[in-house]
Amino acid sequence: MSTALELPQVRRLGPALLTAGLDRRHRLDLAAHTDVHGSLPHLDRDGLLAVADRIELRGRGGAGFPFARKARATLATADRTGAPPVVVVNGAEGEPPSAKDRMLLSRAPHLVIDGARLAAAALGAEELVIGVAAGGPGEVSIPAALAERTDLPCPARTVCVPERFVSGESGALIRGINGRPVLPPTVKARAADGGNGGVRRRPTLLANAETWAQLAVAARIGPDAYASVGVHEPGTVLLTVNRAGADQLVVEAPSGTRLGTVLEACGVAPGVGVLVGGYHGAWLDPREALEAPLSNAGLAAVGGTLGAGAIAVLPAEVCAVGEIARIAAWLAAESAGQCGPCKRGLPAAADALAALAAAGGGSAALDALETARHAVTTSQGGGACSHPDGTARFVLSALDVFAEDIGLHTAGAGCGRPVRGVLPLPRRNEATLEVDWSRCAGHGLCAVLAPDLIRLGPHGYPVSTTMPVAAWQEHGARRAVNQCPALALRIRRRG
């Protein structure tokens, strides 16, 4: 199991609640877990809700929704319909800059299971389902941990879903558990209401891995002891600090700790911009970021979001526009491709940012900047899931924070700095559609067959020689390759 469990280092600032014991053991099996954390109390439904209310428990997967409100809605549906609920752990973390949930699932799996077990027993659940990314460490660790448990109040199973950004969206995970394509539903439905939004149409209580672990800690030590740690909001937060040229660090810190304190402890300089909340988060000016308290309210006050707890910085020696364009292209390719913003808006923004990064000033650069801003702005609020909104937050905040760098690209020959890929992306087999200019005759058929992928310039030729192909674009790409009269297209895969 050791190879599958190679994960970032873990550090703590202040008391170790979620990371207790991990300084001495790589992974806590059931015996070690019980030795470190002690026995788990029993909570009825009122006790469960009281703990969640008193510690102000919010989801730690990105949206920050109050846990107790979700639980009450699930109970209300179960009481009204007589259908026993299902409890779901969302461990399908698809954020490249976030490793905290993968760390918990692999190194402290029983803490996550404990939180879900408390809810399953209190709600009278008929099943407990843990969703993990296929090929990730949770695929090995969670089944091994479940096999050690004899105290679960209902059947439990692990479901593996593709390791994609949208797989971690709650509706996509529930669809995957139900045996359907792991994509966000086109019609929004609350999991707590059951029906089309729930597992097997049952009322469903879903929370991410860290949320369940926080609940287990609070139930063990009591709400008062839990709330004695943290400022502004009770307890601790799990953070993933991304370091350019070095491995990620997972850090547990009291809620409200200054962001600057965390960066300093990890040996990270704030650079020219600090990203908080991951790739659906927001960029902050370093001067504001260093003083920002790491809590939902503290980050919101400066225009940020805690999100999935991912932190990254952009060093001064790289091209900010090029680095942002690189992530925007990946986010566009990771979409489900089911609605207008994902099919049109996000790819248009990514293309415009790439053009801006390569521009040598003048009207072309200004047009690219305006196109990027317009594309993400008009994508907000119109998607079937939160992916367009999160991507827009990432891009628009970058355009504000890196205005000086953008000015160099619009006013002259660019910033002259390289794109080094300092922001993490997964190592996967990536497909690109490539144009052989020695063959291309400008027929334009490719743009008809793959309009979401290929755009033509004023003279009828594709505007780019290399285009990343998203999963939902592969059918169109293959059609374009097979039917190109000049045989000028090919799909290349890079591992």
Q: How far apart are CA 171 and CA 24, in angstroms?
A: 37
User: Does residue 41 sit within a domain?
Assistant: yes
Residues 338 and 369 in one domain: yes
What's the confidence (pLDDT) of residue 16?
96
What's the confidence (pLDDT) of residue 480?
92
User: Does residue 421 sit within a domain?
Assistant: no
Q: How far apart are CA 190 and CA 325, in angstroms?
A: 34
Read off the pTM: 0.89
Q: Quick one: how far is CA 284 from the chain centroid?
A: 18
Q: What are the per-10-residue average pLDDT scores of the chain (495 residues)?
A: 59 96 95 96 96 94 88 97 97 90 96 98 98 92 97 97 88 94 87 94 97 98 95 93 90 97 95 95 94 93 92 96 94 85 88 87 87 92 85 96 93 88 82 89 91 84 79 86 93 77
What is the Cα Rg of the chain in Å?
Answer: 23
Cα dihedral 348, 354, 355, 358, rounded to 10, equals 180
User: Does residue 424 sit within a domain?
Assistant: no
Beta bridge partners of 466: 434
Q: How far apart are CA 60 and CA 235, in angstroms?
A: 12
- Helices 320-333 + 387-401 axis angle, to 10: 180
The CATH number that applies at residue 215 is: 3.40.50.11540
Number of domains, the chain: 4
User: In this structure, which amino acid lies at residue 315?
Assistant: P
Q: How far apart are CA 77 and CA 123, in angstroms?
A: 11
What's the confidence (pLDDT) of residue 344?
85
In this structure, what token pair is assigned to residue 111? 């803490």
The CATH number that applies at residue 279 is: 3.10.20.600
User: Does residue 423 sit within a domain?
Assistant: no
Measured on CA atoms in the order 163, 165, 166, 170, is the torsion positive or negative? positive
Residues 331 and 295 in one domain: no
Instruction: Please give the residue range of the domain that contains residue 434.
Output: 430-494
- Measured between its terminal Cα atoms, the distance across the chain in Å is 24
Residues 482 and 362 in one domain: no
Residues 183 and 150 in one domain: yes
In this structure, what token pair is assigned to residue 396? 């628009």
Sequence-distant (6+) residues with CB within 8 A of 438 are: none
Consecutive H or E run containing 371: helix 362-379
User: Does residue 422 sit within a domain?
Assistant: no
User: Does residue 341 sit within a domain?
Assistant: yes
Q: How far apart are CA 70 and CA 479, in angstroms?
A: 45
Residues 60 and 168 in one domain: yes
Residues 74 and 186 in one domain: yes
Which residue is it, tokens 């190879």? 3
Cα dihedral 84, 87, 92, 93, rounded to 10, equals 140
Residue 134 phi, psi (nearest 5): -60, 135
Residues 106 and 215 in one domain: yes
What's the confidence (pLDDT) of residue 42?
93
User: Does residue 417 sit within a domain?
Assistant: no
CA-to-CA separations, 64 to 27, 44, 60, 210, in angstroms, rounded:
28, 24, 6, 12
